[in-house]
Structure 1
């Protein structure tokens, strides 16, 4: 259970509630033990009456008294059982809540490389299915475990006090059961791990299928995807059946052993009754004891299964929790950012692909300047923006913001000063207004509409039936590519940051709309540092500086007029796009 030690901190956090819950559990079990004893007394009273040693009136009075005690004890046991569930099960929900928050927070702090290596479906499964299994350990397992322990601690001594010989034979099967449970639990642990891994695979497959449904339909791949799902379902059935077959041994074995215990009670108790060593009530009492032990003994197997599943699930959770983010906020105090950006001999290689995206890149952007970065696909343009936002750290060289090494800036201050529009515009499944408000949480409707107009998307939005209250599909699928880009631009504009990072964010709009947006951006980003990545000359012709990248190095640098007077990539690109426009 070494993996489950991780949640001990939550047990410490809720120790008082757990203590009260355990105390109530003990009281509930103690009151439940009253019934067998008074059933025994009731049977002995009836036996005494038939033997003539107790009058009918006295027997009736005693029976009524015993029945009232049995009912009262049962009611109290039921009440405490209810309170027990309200405390211990609630604690398990608190632990589930805390653990989900811990995992989610950790996910957010891990670097982008982590998300390239791991599938979304697997991440989702660990924060849902796996944590649910751990919750069962933090609640039901503790509750029923304490019930079982309390019952054994109270009941076994009581049985030996009342009839040692019967008690011995009654309890003989239990050690055998313990050995069987130990052997079976080891198999359950392995098979539980395989089941959880399968669920991650299934979650990943279905998540990708639903996200890419348009591609599946466009390529008429429905039958293939269905066959793949069937193959996964078959694998899942076999994996789950392997686990179910092992679990299926528990209850039959337990019922068999409990049945043997009942036979011992009747046979050994019957002999002792014939010999006058015990009363008839004791035999009835022991039969009730054995049946009271049926559920606790049976639950041992179930608890073992819960613990093994939780151990496997927590192990999968810990696998991610042990991963440390490569981007660490090393400065706690707030560090204001004005906007000067300087790259000094920066090189960067992606760990997952080992591709060198930038090699010995150096340039300076003064605060308030606009710089356009152009180049072929894969030349390293987007990497520069990612490094400015410190989504990655450089492999070598140095990036300075306002003449301060980027690692010496408070990470939150840096990113709060940046308004980024990624190449692949991402919108959430929320209203359009809230997607724009994502850039400024307290933005009023008037501000939202003003920035939407600057992004030239206001007319499109008001044309929808619900306008700004239109709820978008997953990843903004309701909108066209150009509309998604413009809503993303509005989100960045409403933030009003000191640094704008535009990553080819006008690729899906026509040239006329692009020109209008660029003019609006020029006004909005006045005195703001702006980096614009693009494949179009039109996006950078009004920039203070243009960088031409090729295979991770700066090929050309200068203004539109300067670069257009010399032969090279920029001039050829300008002429090609000019002729295409004509």
Structure 2
């Protein structure tokens, strides 16, 4: 159970509730123990009345008193059992809440390489299914475990006090049961791990299928996907059945062994009663009740073992991710101002997951308030420059300076809150258009959102929808066209009003007339703000203060539109090519 030690901090946090729950559990079980002894007394009273050792009136009075005591104890036991569930089970929900938040918060701190190496379905499964398995350990397992322990501690001594020989025979099956549980639990642990791993695979497959449903339909891949899902379903069935087959041994074995205990009680107890070794047949009835009261605690041992083994396997999977450390760390705790000067000094960057060198010893300087455009073929390193400015990655060698200070010496929150980024693949949330734009500034009014949407040339499109700004977007903004998604993302960045704008080919799905209008508005809004534009179009770059052309991670041209257009090279060829296409 070493992996489950991670939960100790939560048990300390809720120690008082747990303590009260355990105390209530003990009280509830003590009250439940009243019934067997008073059943024995009731039978003894009936025997005495039959033997004429007490009068019928006294016997009736005693029987009525015992019955009332049994009913009262049962009601009190039921009340405390209810309170037991209200305390311990509630604690398990609090721990589930805390653990999910811990995992999610940790996810947010991990760098992009982590998400490239791990599948979304696996991440989702660990924060949902795995945490749920751990919750079962933190609540039901503790509750039933304490219940079982209390019953053993109370009942077994009582049995030996009242009839030692009968108790010894009755309890013979329990050690056998313990050995069987130990052997079976080891198998359960291995098979539980396989089940959890399979659930991650299934979650990943379904998530990717739903996200890519447009491609699946376009290529007519439904039969192929169904066949793959059928294969996964068969694999899942077999994996779960392997676990179920082992779990299926628990209850039959326990019922068998408890049945053997009952046979011992009746046979050995009957012989002792006949031989006069026990005073009343009520003792036999009491022992039968004790054995049956032990049935569920003994049976629950197997279930508890299964829960703990599953929780151990799940917590191990959770801990694997919690042990992951982000490579991008906020080294400066106090907030640092951002003016917008950006300098790359001999920067080289290689992607860890692919080992591709995206940038190779590049250097340039951007002054605060300048607009700089980056052009080049696909894979030339343009988007990587924006990622390094936002410090989504750290350079392999060289230095990135912000305001003449190494970027690592800037507070990470200050840096990113000073950046308004529009990624190449515009991402929108399953929410209203209004809230998607407000993501840039949560305090913005609807009027401010509309004004900024006009600057992004998307206001008229939004007004054309039936619910206008209250239109709910599908997942990843599927409700909108590519150009509309890009313009909503631009509006979001403009609303943030940052010191630095990062536009990563965000006008690729927009026609040239709309592009020209957006760029004109952008020029007004980005005055005195550092703006980096990545594009494949000269039209997006020509009005920039500086244009940098990249090829294979190296700078091959640098200058203004006029300067670059007057020399032979990539930029002039691109300009003439796109100009002829436009004409």
Using structure 1 for the length normalisation, give the TM-score.
1.00
2:369 aligned partner = 368
Q: Which runs of 5+ in 2 are unaligned?
A: none
After TM superposition, the structure 1 = structure 2 runs for residues 236-247 of structure 1, keeping only pairs within 5 Å, are 236-247=236-247
Displacement of 1:326 in angstroms is: 0.3
Aligned equivalent of 2:355:
354
Q: Which residue of 1 aligns with 2:188?
A: 188
CA drift of 1:276 comes to: 1.5
In structure 2, what is the Cα distance between the partners aligned to 1:525 and 1:276?
Answer: 103
Matched with 1:206 is 206
Taking the aligned partners of 1:48 and 1:277, their CA distance within structure 2 comes to 18
Partner of 2:382: 381
Q: d(CA) in 1 for partners of 2:336 and 2:176?
A: 67
2:434 corresponds to: 433
Cα shift at 1:309: 0.2
Instruction: Give the unaligned 5+ runs of structure 1.
Output: none
Which residues in structure 2 correspond to 1:312-461 (within 5 Å)?
312-461=313-462
Distance across 2 between alignment mates of 1:454 and 1:170: 84
Deviation at 1:409, TM superposition (A): 0.4
**Structure 1 segment 99-138 matched on structure 2, within 5 A:** 99-138=99-138
Secondary structure class of the residue paired with 2:355: coil
Following superposition, the deviation at residue 503 of structure 1 comes to 0.1
TM-aligned CA deviation for residue 84 of structure 1: 0.3
| Secondary structure of residue in 2 paired with 1:557 | strand
Q: 1-side partners of 2:152 and 2:249: how far apart? A: 23
For residues 81-140 of structure 1, give each alpha carbon's deviation from its aligned partner in whole angstroms, at most 9, with x where no partner exists. Answer: 000000000000000000000000000000000000100000000000000000000000
Deviation at 1:431? 0.3
Which residue in the other structure is 1:49 paired with? 49
Deviation at 1:220, TM superposition (A): 0.3
Deviation at 1:54, TM superposition (A): 1.3
**Post-superposition offset of 1:275:** 1.1
Query: Cα distance, 1:556 vs. partner?
Result: 0.3
Alignment pair present for 1:70 and 2:70: yes
SS at match of 1:359: strand
Distance 1:265 1:111 in 2: 65
Secondary structure of the corresponding residue to residue 454 of structure 2: helix
Partner Cα separation in structure 1 for residue 175 and residue 12 of structure 2: 33
Q: Deviations over 1:355-395 (max 9, x none)?
A: 00000010000000000000000000000000000000000
Equivalents in 1 of 2:441, 2:158: separation in Å? 68
Match of 2:573 in 1: 572
Measured in 2, the distance between the counterparts of 1:264 and 1:254 equals 15
Whole-Å separation in 2 of the counterparts to 1:411 and 1:549: 28
Are residue 252 (structure 1) and residue 252 (structure 2) matched?
A: yes
Deviation of 1:518 after TM superposition, in Å, equals 0.4
2:557 alignment counterpart? 556
Partner of 1:464: 465
Alignment partner, residue 160 of structure 2: 160
2:142 paired residue number: 142
Tell me the distance in 1 between the aligned counterparts of 2:452 and 2:234. 52
Taking structure 2 as the reference length, what is the TM-score of the superposition? 1.00
Q: Distance in 1 between matches of 2:305 and 2:448?
A: 58
Name the CA distance, whole Å, in 2 between partners of 1:472 and 1:448.
17
Indicate the residue corresponding to 1:219 in structure 2: 219
Cα distance between partner residues in 1 of 2:364 and 2:522: 23
SS class of match (2:549): strand
Structure-1 separation of matches of 2:3 and 2:67: 49
Residue 303 of structure 2 is matched in structure 1 by 302
Aligned residues: 582
What displacement does 1:150 show?
Answer: 0.5
How far did residue 277 of structure 1 move? 1.7
1:51-86 Cα distance to aligned partner (Å, 9 max, x none): 111111000000000000000000000000000000
- Any residues of structure 2 matched to 1:438-517 within 5 Å, and which? 438-517=439-518
- Verify: 1:232 aligned to 2:210, yes or no: no
Distance (whole Å) between structure 1 residues aligned to residue 332 and residue 123 of structure 2: 29
* Aligned counterparts of 2:65 and 2:444: Cα–Cα separation in 1: 72
C-alpha separation in 2, matches of 1:72 and 1:172: 33
Instruction: Summarize the alignment of residues 527-566 of structure 1 with structure 2, pairs less than 5 Å apart.
Output: 527-566=528-567
Deviating runs (4+, > 3 A) in structure 1? none
Shift of 1:261: 0.2
Query: Could you tell me how far apart the structure 2 residues matched to 1:384 and 1:296 are?
Result: 63
CA distance in 1, matches of 2:186, 2:456: 61
2:263 counterpart residue number: 263
SS of residue paired to 1:360: strand
> Map of 1:168-179 to 2, 5 A cutoff?
168-179=168-179
